Amino acid sequence: MAHPTQLNLQNASSPLMEELTYFHDHTLMITVSISVFVLYMMMMLVITYLTDKFVLDAQKVEVVWTIIPAITLVFIALPSLRTLYLMDEADDPHLTVKTMGHQWYWAYEYSDYLDLEFEAYMVPTRELIYGQYRLLEADHRVLIPINTPIRMLISADDVLHSWTVPALGIKMDAVPGRLNQAAFIAVRPGVFFGQCSEICGANHSFMPIVVEVAPLEYFEVWSLLLVQDN
């Protein structure tokens, strides 16, 4: 099992996830500023005794408190739209990996590279070795080369699933009869974990996703060995 200090969210490993993190921080700072300002105004309304019963309207104040929220929404909307379009971009991928969600495991195909196919099941708790994560380790990892544009084709065979790897900024629904597309680039080597994020049945919690990012030479050797084993 993993050490307790390791049980935290993984750092961003793709430019897309870094953009999502920046947008989160940007929006959070705006939200905190608004909350502090509103709290200050509420406190001032409670503790002040200055009133004027002859004030019936204040058009300038009304104009200001209409324009300022509109400008604030623009500051949130512009980076949001930019990040949204970046998430949909899949320009000239070097490798395509197709994943199919089943009850309850994932099947993978490297259809444009040596025609690789395998299935990934969760490693039972009793078979875990020291350092592996309970409910997150799979018997087959999705291996991809580093700094390579990857296109994921995602679908399902039975019910709705969701292929999600937070560190890579990927979360795409797997819909039966439909082929969804997502793209990413992993910029550092490592092992990144995810799970099915759609409530897909009794064993929904037992569909882990493990993506390993390695140098291209390691990927080529791994793919050749996997083809020989099959």
| DSSP-assigned states of every residue in 156-224 | ESSS-EEEEEGGGTEEEEE-BT--EEEEE---S-EEEEEEE-S--STTGGG-EEEEEEE-HHHHHHHHH
* Count of C-beta atoms within a 10 Å radius of residue 73: 12
Residues 6+ apart with CB under 8 A from 31: none
- Bridge-based pairing of strands 95-102 and 150-156 is parallel
- Our measurement of the distance from residue 83's CA atom to the centroid of its chain's CA atoms, rounded to an integer in Å, reads 13
- 1-230, what's its fold? Immunoglobulin-like (2.60.40)
Number of residues in the chain: 230
Question: What pTM does this model have?
Answer: 0.80
* Count of C-beta atoms within a 10 Å radius of residue 6: 10
Q: Assign 144 to helix, strand or coil.
A: strand
Contact 177, 158 (CB under 8 A): no
Beta pairing partners, 138:
122
Classify the C-alpha dihedral 170-171-175-181 as positive or negative.
negative
Separation between Cα atoms, residue 99 and residue 107, nearest integer Å: 6
Per-residue pLDDT of the chain (230 residues; tens, 9 = 90+): 444 444 567 888 888 899 999 999 999 999 999 999 999 989 988 888 777 767 777 788 889 889 999 999 999 999 999 888 888 777 788 889 999 999 999 999 997 777 788 999 999 989 888 888 889 999 999 999 998 999 999 999 989 999 999 999 899 999 999 999 998 999 999 999 999 998 988 888 899 999 999 998 988 888 888 777 76
Q: Residue-wise over 151-184: b if at least 16 C-beta within 10 A, else e?
A: bbbbbbeebebbbbbbbbbbebbbbeeeeeebbb
